[in-house]
Amino acid sequence: MTIKGEYVPSPTEWVRKQVEAIEAAGDTRAAQVMDRDVVMLTMLGVSGKVRKVPLMRVEHDGSYAAVASKGGAPENPKWYANVKKNPVLDLMDGTETFTVKARELRGAEREEWWERCVAAYPPYAEYQTKTDRQIPVLILEPITY
């Protein structure tokens, strides 16, 4: 793991409980959303503290998508600002953890990944209808040293 520092648990109870379950099991399969697998991101927050968030598992050819949907709320989730400021983070999938770099997708590349995201978690399509903002999609690509 590359992200080090003081960990501050999420103020959102369900997020905190999912992170606790994943850490206790050492496996992201210990937590699901609507019977679907998640991955866990560990990032350096805007505050300088370590943050952890489980997100829907959307993987293709070894890269992952992070969808900043916040259920279709008018604003982005807090983790989005963290990732934009500090795009190198740790991603846990199952029992494996590796370092990835995030970048926000635009245009045709975003549309291609958006289709994958909706296929992995169909509620994303409904979330987009609830907000005027275009829901950001970030690709998380493994960093190889």
Q: Is 62 left (phi over 0), alpha (psi -120 to 50) or beta?
A: left
Q: Please check whether residue 143 is in contact with residue 99, taking contact to mean a CB–CB distance below 8 angstroms.
A: yes
pLDDT band with cut points at 50, 70 and 90 for residue 2: confident
Q: What is the pLDDT of residue 144?
A: 81
d(CA 44, CA 117): 24
Reported as a single tens digit per residue, the pLDDT across 10-41 is: 999 999 999 999 999 999 999 998 899 999 99
3-state secondary structure 67-114: ECCHHHCCCCCHHHHHHHHCCEEEEEECCEEEEEEEEECCHHHHHHHH
- Domain positions in the chain: 13-142
Mean confidence (pLDDT) of the chain:
96
Reported as a single tens digit per residue, the pLDDT across 56-90 is: 999 999 999 999 999 999 999 999 999 999 999 99
**CATH class of the region 13-142:** mainly beta
Strand partners, 36: 33
pTM for the predicted model, two decimal places: 0.95
The DSSP code for 121 is -
Q: What is the pLDDT of residue 34?
A: 86
With 0-12 CB in 10 A as exposed, 13-18 as middle and 19+ as buried, what is 95?
A: exposed
d(CA 60, CA 124): 17
pLDDT band with cut points at 50, 70 and 90 for residue 1: low
